[in-house]
Amino acid sequence: MCGTTYNLTFSHDPGGKYVLIADGTNDKIWIHDRKTGELKGSIGDNGRMAGDFHWIDAIAMDSKGNLYTGEVETGKRIQKFILMNGDGQSRPRPHE
Q: Which of 5-9, 11-15, 91-95 has the highest mean pLDDT?
A: 5-9
Residues in CB range of 78: below 8 A, 6 or more apart: 58, 68, 69, 70, 71
CATH of the domain at 62: 2.40.10
**pTM confidence score:** 0.84
Query: 29-44: per-residue pLDDT in tens?
Result: 999 999 999 999 999 9
**Considering only 42-51, 52-61, 86-95, which range has the smallest mean pLDDT?**
86-95
pLDDT of residue 64: 83
Domain that holds residue 76: 5-81
Position 18 in a domain: yes
Overall number of domains in the chain? 1
- Quote the CA–CA distance of 77 and 12 in Å, as a whole number: 24
pLDDT digits (tens, 9 = 90+) for 72-82: 988 899 999 98
Look at residue 3 in the predicted model and tell me its pLDDT. Answer: 81
- Average pLDDT score over the chain: 88
SS3 of 28, please? strand
67-71, strands of its sheet edge to edge: 56-61, 67-71, 78-81
